[in-house]
Amino acid sequence: MPDFPFLSALPVNHHYRALLLDLGGKILRVRIIAGFDDEEASDMARDMLDGRAVELWDGNHLIERFGPAQA
């Protein structure tokens, strides 16, 4: 049992951002995503696809990569 069981009831702060990548894998644009959880943020990042790759990050943690593989 954790020393502070109430901590598990506190909301988790996520800092999602989507990186739009060019065909060589370089960052073209970064957008902040206000999602409540990974699934919602993933849906929002997937909507940004325009034939290029998009990576979804939460802080320093890669959540998912969408689109074509890097060249």
**Identity at 39, one-letter amino acid code:** E
DSSP 9: G
The pLDDT confidence band at residue 71, using thresholds 50, 70 and 90, is: very low
Query: What secondary structure does DSSP assign to 20-62, as a single string?
Result: EE-TTS-EEEEEEE--SSHHHHHHHHHTT-SSSEEEEEETTEE
pLDDT tens digit string along 1-40? 456 665 555 556 788 999 999 988 899 999 999 878 999 9
**Number of other CB atoms surrounding residue 68 within 10 Å:** 12
3-state secondary structure of 63: strand
